[in-house]
Amino acid sequence: MTAPAISVTGLTKRFGARTVVDGVTLSVAKGEIMGFLGPNGSGKTTTIRMMCGLLEPDGGEGRVLGHDIRHERRAIKRKVGYMTQRFSFYEDLTIAENLNFVAGLYGMKPARKAVRDTLADLGLTARRDQLAGSLSGGWKQRLALAACIMHKPDLLMLDEPTAGVDPKARREFWDEIHALADGGLTVLVSTHYMDEAERCHRIAYISFGHLIAQGKVPQVVRDAGLTTMIITGPKTAEAARLLKGALGVDQVAPFGATLHVVGTDAELLKKTVEKVARDTGNAAADSETSLEDVFIQLMGESEDTPT
């Protein structure tokens, strides 16, 4: 195996007295697509910024593409494509002008051709002279993504690249990401979408600055040790009311006409759910635990962690 594309240990960042990222240790192999998940404000953006040299870590160290994240920032910047969470291209420049700017900064030759190809890939050739600020939110995302892939980086760090993007464009985006990863590109992508997490080779879950779970999706689900049951029938709403806060029940979530009930103690859960189902005239059955169930569980557990 070759050296990992990202390898950081004990990465820590403080803003004032608050520790926003606390001892994050993460390793991403070359050609791997790593999903980066966690609730709002958990420190995803901050971690990514430290890894691409935009923030000075207060603790820890690491290498990105073989370069030290503290001392070799310039080398990292040349080889990494970073897509910011918030649109940060120039709204008062046209699409083509923005792409030209990026091509110029990376010293791409011939820049004109790269820009032309990118515009064609995006299907934006006809709108090349439109101001970037006048694009819709989803199109801004697509422009930003195209711009950070343009210089053929070895590593992509994408901070919620598909927020506000329609399903078809999202599917195209993920197809493209997988195609690029097959070609050896490494991708670290933060997201709040479960379906996207499931398309990653591996995922890492961060909460209140602590990395609390990582691995392949089935493994993360298995490690969580949760049991899930579903209740179907005419009176799921009443069952939900009874189950909320009941013994052994951690989560109750309606999915259409069915009710997902999740708990850590399999025995206890089964007993409670079956009793409630009987009492309300519904049917109970075993089910698969989903990644979403795991995340909701993780979020709930770490809520007590003081910040």
Partner 1 sequence: MSRFFSFTRLAALLVKESIQMRRDRVTFAMMIGVPLLQLMLFGFAINTDPKGLPAALVAPTQDRFTRAMISALELTGYYRFVAPDASAPLAEEMIARGDVAFVVTVPSDFGRRIERGDRARILIEADATDPSVASGAISTLSTVAASALRREAGLDATAPPGNGIDITVHRRYNPEGITQYNIVPGLLGVILQLTMVMMTAMALIRETERGTMENLLSMPATPLEIMLGKVVPYFAVGAVQVAVVLVSAKLVFDVPFVGAVHVVLAGIFVFVLALVILGYLISTVSRTQMQAMQLTFFFFLPSLLLSGFMFPYRGMPPWAQVLGEIFPLTHFLRLIRSVMLKGADATTVAGSFSALTLFAIGLALLALLRFRRTLD
Q: Is the dihedral of CA 90, 92, 95, 99 positive or negative?
A: negative
Tell me how many residues contact ligand ATP (CB under 6 A): 11
SS3 assignment, position 18: strand
- Min dist CB 273 to ligand ATP, Å, is 33
- Min dist CB 51 to ligand ATP, Å, is 12
Q: Identify which of residues 80 and 165 has a Cβ nearer to partner 1 in the complex.
A: 80
Binding mask 77-116 for ligand ATP (x = CB under 6 A): --------x-------------------------------
- Min dist CB 298 to Mg ion, Å, is 17
The partner residues of 188 in beta bridges, in order of sequence, read: 34, 157
Rule CB under 8 A: say whether 282 interacts with partner 1.
Answer: no
| 34 phi, psi to nearest 5 deg | -105, 125
Q: Identify which of residues 88 and 125 has a Cβ nearer to partner 1 in the complex.
A: 88
One-letter amino acid identity for 259?
L
SS3 assignment, position 276: helix
Q: In what order do the strands lie in the sheet with 59-64?
A: 18-28, 6-15, 59-64, 67-68
- With left for phi above 0 and alpha for psi between -120 and 50, is residue 81 left, alpha or beta? beta
- The residues in 42-101 that bind Mg ion, with binding defined as CB under 5 A, are 44-45, 85
By beta carbon distance, the residue nearest Mg ion is 45
Rule CB under 8 A: say whether 60 interacts with partner 1.
Answer: no
Number of H helices, E strands in the chain: 11, 14
Q: Identify which of residues 83 and 114 has a Cβ nearer to Mg ion in the complex.
A: 83
Helix (H) / strand (E) containing 200:
none
Helix (H) / strand (E) containing 244:
none
Q: Which stretch binds partner 1 (CB under 8 A): 2-10, 27-35, 98-106, 193-201?
A: 98-106
Give the binding site for partner 1 (CB under 8 A).
Answer: 49, 52-56, 73-74, 77-78, 80, 82, 84, 86-91, 102, 105-106
